[in-house]
């Protein structure tokens, strides 16, 4: 088992999906997209690599942020190796340095992954990044440094090799053939959240949570399922923003989510969406529990 750990937005979920060869975790340009541990199982001829995507680690501003930080630490204390991701394009900042320091206590070997190298204008722009990484990750538990681009698929096969080399010899943990163990309801809620968040600016995306009670087979058509998604926002004023003028924004998000779910599930999907106010849910432990967070 290998945990993918890093600051928000460094490209953890994109890398997970690329290595898994399919979409498992949602991705948006909004930092703070991933809110739970998302697993992808890579079964190869000689090894089974279980990657665990985690929420980006940052200064927590809400009860949700605190929970996510705790979750990431729980995940990294229970794996065989940690992939520590840093963003080549954004540069190495104080948050990365803080995280590197914490990872010294993680107990597992750490492979540092420099992401988004396709965004560098010249190859030599990687050098200062590598120099800074060299300072932060000197000595054990830090191991190799691997620059990659998940979008361009550059050097990701090499990364997989390096991570696999850290795995203990053991029977496989998961049956072959299943890449994701996410229930359909969770997948549906995440895909809806991705489409809703992608279109919202600034702080608002963080106020959105999505729940799906069930993915119900149609009574008559075998290839059709019904999904009812509830989009929770924190304040009444946010309702209108999510819905958009004349309902256009929500309609567009719903259509995008439905099309993607149909492709992922291999079924026709009837998706109904509803927006509900869950006042201040991000800071309310009881509501967080109800929202599955
Ligand atoms: N150009 C480029 N963009 C990338 C690459 N990897 C990720 N991105 C973009 O970076 C943004 C964040 O990607 P995510 O995969 O959601 O990042 P994350 O680390 O999972 O973010 P959180 O879940 O918020 O912590 C998205 O807009 C991605 O498309 C890459 O290799 N190259
Ligand atoms: Mg993510």
List the CATH number of the domain containing 99. 3.40.50.300
Please say whether the beta carbons of 43 and 50 come within 8 A.
no
Q: What is the Cα–Cα distance from 227 to 215, expressed in whole angstroms?
A: 5
The residue from 164, 192, 221 where one domain ends is 164
Ligand 2 centroid distance, CA of 87 (Å): 13
Work out the mean pLDDT of the chain and round it to a whole number: 96
Question: For residues 84 and 145, what is the distance between their CA atoms, to the nearest angstrom?
Answer: 9
Structural domain contains residue 75: yes
By the 10 Å C-beta count (0-12 exposed, 13-18 middle, 19+ buried), 94 is classed as: exposed
The pLDDT, as a whole number, for residue 123 is: 93
Work out the average pLDDT over 85-89.
98
pLDDT the model gives residue 69:
97
Name the band, by pLDDT with cuts 50, 70 and 90, for residue 260. very high
pTM over 0.85: yes
CA distance 46 to 201: 44
Residues 118 and 197 in one domain: no
Identify the residue with better confidence: 215 or 176. Answer: 215
- Domain holding 33, by residue range, is 2-164
**Which residues are paired to 112 by β-bridges?**
84, 145
Summarize the confidence of residues 267-290 as an average pLDDT.
97
pLDDT for the residue 258: 98
Question: Does 251 lie in the same domain as 118?
Answer: no
The reply to whether 274 and 160 lie within a common domain is no
Q: Look at residue 171 and tell me if it is in a domain.
A: no
Give 179-213 pLDDT, tens digit per residue.
Answer: 999 999 999 999 999 999 998 877 799 999 999 99
The pLDDT value given to residue 177: 84
The rounded distance, in Å, linking the Cα atoms of 6 and 203 is: 21
Residue 177, domain member (yes or no): no
Task: Please tell me the predicted confidence (pLDDT) of residue 1.
Answer: 97
Report yes or no on 179 lying in a domain. Answer: no
User: Rounded CA gap, 197 and 209, in Å?
Assistant: 9
Q: Is the CB of 10 under 6 A from ligand 1?
A: yes
Which of 7, 9, 17, 191 for mutating ligand 1's site (highest number of atoms within 8 Å of CB)? Answer: 9
């Amino acid at each position: 088992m290998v945990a993918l750990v890093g600051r928000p937005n460094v490209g953890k979920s994109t890398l997970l999906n690329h290595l898994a060869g399919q979409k498992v975790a949602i991705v948006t340009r909004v930092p703070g997209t991933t809110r739970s541990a998302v697993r992808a199982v890579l079964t190869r001829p000689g090894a089974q690599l279980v990657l665990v995507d985690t929420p980006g680690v940052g200064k927590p501003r809400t009860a949700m942020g605190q929970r996510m930080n705790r979750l990431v630490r729980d995940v990294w204390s229970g794996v065989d190796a940690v992939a520590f991701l840093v963003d080549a394009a954004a540069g190495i900042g104080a948050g990365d340095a803080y995280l590197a320091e914490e990872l010294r206590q993680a107990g597992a070997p750490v492979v540092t992954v420099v992401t988004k190298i396709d965004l560098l204008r010249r190859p030599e722009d990687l050098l200062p990044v590598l120099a800074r990484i060299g300072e932060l990750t000197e000595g054990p538990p830090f191991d190799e440094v691997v620059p990659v681009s998940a979008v361009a698929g550059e050097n990701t096969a090499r990364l997989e090799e390096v991570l696999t080399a850290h795995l203990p010899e053991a029977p496989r943990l998961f049956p072959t053939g299943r890449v994701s163990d996410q229930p359909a309801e969770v997948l549906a809620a995440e895909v809806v959240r991705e489409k809703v968040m992608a279109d919202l600016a600034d702080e608002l995306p963080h106020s959105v949570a999505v729940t799906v009670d069930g993915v119900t087979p149609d009574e008559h058509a075998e290839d059709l399922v019904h999904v009812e998604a509830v989009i929770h926002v924190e304040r009444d004023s946010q309702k209108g923003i999510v819905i958009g003028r004349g309902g256009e924004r929500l309609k567009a998000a719903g259509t995008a989510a439905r099309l993607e779910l149909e492709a992922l599930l291999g079924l026709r999907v009837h998706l109904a969406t509803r927006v509900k106010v869950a006042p201040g849910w991000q800071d309310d432990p009881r509501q967080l529990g109800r929202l599955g967070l």
